[in-house]
Amino acid sequence: MMCETLLSQSKIWKFMDRIRSQVAMPFQVGDRSISVTVSIGIALCGPDDSAEALIRDADLAMYQAKKLGRNRAVLFEREIR
C-alpha cells in the first residue's frame, strides 16, 4: 500500500495501528472464529527515490517486524540493510 498523504510519523503510526486492529478482528469460517495478525514494513521516500528502492526497504522493514515477534510495524532504517 502506498500513502502519499501521511506526512508525519505520528499519522503513519496511527494509520498502522488502525490497519492492525482491523485485520485482527475475528471472522467466522464455518463454526470457527479465525483471527490473524499482520506485520508491516514502512519505508519513506523522497522525490529522487525509485519505486524499487521503496519496495525493497519496506520489505526489509516487514521482515524485521516478523523477526521482532510479528503483529507489529517497523519503520525502515538504513541499519536494517
Residue boundaries of the structural domains of the chain: 9-80
Give the pTM: 0.81
Q: What is the dihedral of CA 20, 22, 28, 29, to 10 degrees?
A: -60
pLDDT at site 70: 83
- Provide the pLDDT confidence category of residue 59 given band limits of 50, 70 and 90: very high
Task: Tell me the CATH class for 9-80.
Answer: alpha beta
Distances (CA, A) of 42 to 11, 19, 23, 27, 35: 12, 13, 17, 26, 23
| Cell numbers that stand for 33 in this block | 472464529
Of the two residues 6 and 11, the one the predictor is more confident about is 11
